[in-house]
Chains A and B, each alone.
Chain A
Amino acid sequence: MKARVHIMLKDGVLDPQGEAVRHALGSLGFAGVTGVRQGKLIELDLAATDKTTAEAEVRAMCDRLLANTVIEKYTVEIL
């Protein structure tokens, strides 16, 4: 079983890297990019065979290590 974790800064947390990317896109001539937020995508291969168990396990991984929930939010997809 595979899991995919998307980690993004929470809304309202300034993302200076996203802002820099937005500026760079503007200077390349891509007009109309009004916002860029940059995050992380983590793919996990899991031994678990039960979807509910797998999701609970991955959420625990996010809370303990993969995300810093002070500033980041995450979503978990079980594939």
Chain B
Amino acid sequence: MKAAVITFPGSNCDRDLALALTAAGAEVHRVWHKDSALPEGIDLVGVPGGFSFGDYLRCGAIAAQSPIGAAVRAHAARGGYVLGICNGFQVLTEMALLPGVLMRNAGLKFICKPVGLEVAEAQSAFTAGWGKGDSISLPVAHHDGNYNADAATLDRLEGEGRVAFRYLDNPNGSARDIAGILSENRRVLGMMPHPERAVDPAQGSADGSVLFRSLVAGLVAA
């Protein structure tokens, strides 16, 4: 499985994401935001966490318009897989690859701690390694993780089984406890918690490695 991990100015989880994918068996290529094309034969694009462009204007808004952005959109349009974590999730909503927005946390504070999550949907290459309803622990580290969309969109996400993860104890005010969502074709996942920061027991939890292993296994098989 070939993965590309994008680095924007201000990304700070790009190396962790590349390491987590490599550890799961992926061949990882690092891509700079000014590149206008992805390397040949990429199966998965990883959009990492951090503070791209200093969170200026809105989190993820400027990264979404960067030169590599068009290549990521084209990759998604031809059915490619995309994983956006934290700031990467914000970038994917700003690119309109995922619906809704991530607003300032309801409590206004930056939250940095491990949180309990329910795997709300196992029917995706990202979550196939879990059972629906499994409880896992992953760290969050964000100021703007309060997921919101209009009621019709939220109903649709739930009705189509596109809520991938829910908070067990909602830390940020997200509508319907949503921590991660899938695109209509289930090949784009955006999530606020950081699976790449939980891939080794030394990090406190290795629950995140399940996601990367599922992806590598699923995409190799495909």
Contacts and interface: CB of A to CB of B under 8 A. Distances in A.
Given A70-B100, A70-B149, A71-B148, A16 B105 contact: yes
B112 interface: no
Given A13-B148, A16-B173, A68 B101 contact: yes
Interface string A36-79: 00000000000000000000000000001110101100000000
A20 interface: yes
B104 A65 contact: no
B108 A68 contact: no
Contacts of A14: 103, 106
Given A65-B61, A65-B65, A68-B58, A16 B104 contact: yes
Contact of B101 (A16, A66, A70): A70
B108 A16 contact: yes
A20 B108 contact: yes
A20 B108 CA distance: 8
B101 A65 contact: no
B118 interface: no
Interface residues of A, number: 11
Most-contacted residue by chain A among B58, B107, B146, B148 (CB, 10 A) = B58
A66 B61 CA distance: 8
Interface string A1-37: 0000000000001101100100000000000000000
Contacts of B99: 70
Interface residues of B, number: 20
A71 B101 contact: yes
Contacts of A66: 57
Given A16-B173, A17-B104, A68 B148 contact: no
A71 B65 CA distance: 19
B43 interface: no
B14 interface: no
A58 B65 CA distance: 17
27 contacts: A13-B103, A14-B103, A14-B106, A16-B103, A16-B105, A16-B106, A16-B107, A16-B108, A16-B146, A16-B173, A17-B104, A17-B108, A20-B108, A64-B65, A65-B57, A65-B62, A66-B57, A68-B58, A68-B94, A68-B101, A70-B93, A70-B99, A70-B100, A70-B149, A71-B101, A71-B103, A71-B148
Given A13-B103, A16-B105, A65-B65, 18 more contacts: A13-B148, A16-B103, A16-B108, A16-B146, A16-B173, A17-B104, A17-B108, A20-B108, A64-B65, A65-B57, A65-B62, A68-B58, A68-B61, A68-B94, A68-B101, A70-B93, A70-B100, A70-B101
Q: Which 10 A-B pairs have the closest CB atoms?
A: A70-B101, A71-B101, A16-B106, A20-B108, A16-B104, A16-B108, A68-B58, A68-B101, A65-B65, A17-B104
